């Protein structure tokens, strides 16, 4: 199997606070995980590549100090949205890749609403 | 910059009709994946094609990878309302493991 979970599935927070989203590969180890953002009726936008034991690689235009990524183990990556603002409201999806494979397996997503 | 152009972006058809979704690029990909996503959920992997000219079938869905590995198509035969969703193609870059996603095709199949 290739099951990826995300927690929480939805979260509402106040402007200025920080929110942490967890991504876990449940039945396989993943050296590499990815974080995406998706707007309604649009495709996925890659935010960063999360590498176990090393710093994440951020895509152009994504603020690394705002979107903190930690990949502390082979089955867990976290995304922390710091000092969240309403414009950060979105659907955040993570994926994990089995080592040596090209396919990515996606989590169910986290709906973030910043009020 | 590698881009994947996916078309059409929206498709609304009646149950029983056939349809084809296309993904085209000027770049060569080492492999290409097709995903299906329902509202509020993450994408689910349908198939991976690796070899130029490869054809894979998944029940009523037929996937083809172009000979030059720059394009791909998804053909659905006798569409059902359960096929409704967002279909995404994604090309894999060779070294980084990153996927380049097409814009997506929103399919609505009316009963």
Q: What is the pLDDT of residues A75-91, one digit of tens each?
A: 999 999 999 999 999 99
Mark yes or no for CB contact A109/B33 under 8 Å: no
pLDDT score of B1 more than 70: no
- In the predicted model, what is the mean pLDDT of residues B75-79? 98
Q: For residue B44, which residues of chain A lie inside 8 Å, CB to CB? A: 106
Question: What's the number of CA atoms in the CB half-sphere (13 Å) around residue A96?
Answer: 29
CB atoms B102 and A49 under 8 Å: no
What are B31-50's pLDDT values in tens digits?
A: 999 999 999 999 999 999 99
The beta-carbon neighbor of B98 closest among A4, A49, A103 is A49
Asked whether residue B94 carries a pLDDT value surpassing 70, the answer given is no
The set of residues, in sequence order, having a beta carbon less than 8 Å from that of B57 and lying 6+ positions away, is: B63
Partner residue facing B102 (CB), from A43, A102, A107? A43
Residues 83..102 of B with a Cβ closer than 8 Å to A: which? 86, 88, 90, 92, 96-99, 101-102
Segment 53-112 of chain A within 8 Å of chain B by CB? 91, 93, 95, 97, 102-109, 111
- Dihedral sign from CA coordinates of A38, A39, A43, A45: negative
CB contact under 8 A, A106 and B43: yes
- The reported pLDDT for the residue numbered A41 is 83
- Distance of alpha carbon A58 from alpha carbon A113, whole angstroms: 23
At residue A40 the predicted structure's pLDDT band, cuts being 50, 70 and 90, is confident
- The model's confidence at residue A72, banded by pLDDT at 50, 70 and 90, is confident
Q: Given the DSSP bridges, would you call strands B71-76 and B19-24 parallel, antiparallel or unpaired?
A: antiparallel
DSSP category for residue B82:
G
Tell me if residue A62 falls in helix, strand or coil.
coil
Q: Which residue of B has its CA nearest to A97?
A: B97
- On whether the CB atoms of residues A95 and A82 are closer than 8 A, the answer is no
What local confidence, expressed as pLDDT, does residue A86 receive? 96
Give B-chain residues touching A100 at CB under 8 angstroms.
none
Q: Quick one: pLDDT at residue B3?
A: 85
């Amino acid at each position: 199997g290739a099951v990826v979970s995300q927690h929480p599935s939805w979260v509402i927070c106040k402007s200025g606070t920080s929110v942490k989203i967890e991504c876990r590969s449940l039945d396989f180890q993943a050296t590499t995980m990815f974080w995406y953002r998706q707007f309604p009726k649009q495709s996925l936008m890659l935010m960063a590549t999360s590498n176990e034991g090393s710093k994440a690689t951020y895509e152009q235009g994504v603020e690394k100090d705002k979107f903190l990524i930690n990949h502390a183990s082979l089955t867990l990556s976290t995304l922390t949205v710091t000092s969240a603002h309403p414009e950060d409201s979105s659907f955040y999806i993570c994926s994990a890749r089995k080592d040596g494979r090209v396919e990515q397996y996606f989590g169910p997503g986290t709906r973030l609403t910043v009020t | 910059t590698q881009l994947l152009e996916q078309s059409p972006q929206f498709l609304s058809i009646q149950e029983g009709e056939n349809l084809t979704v296309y993904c085209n690029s000027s770049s060569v990909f080492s492999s290409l994946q097709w995903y299906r996503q329902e509202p509020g959920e993450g994408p689910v992997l349908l198939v991976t094609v690796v070899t130029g000219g490869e054809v894979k079938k998944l029940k009523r869905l037929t996937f083809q990878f172009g000979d030059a590995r720059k394009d791909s198509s998804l053909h659905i035969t006798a569409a059902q309302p359960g096929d409704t969703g967002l279909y995404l193609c994604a090309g894999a870059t060779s070294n980084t493991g990153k996927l380049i996603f097409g814009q997506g095709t929103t399919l609505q199949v009316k009963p």
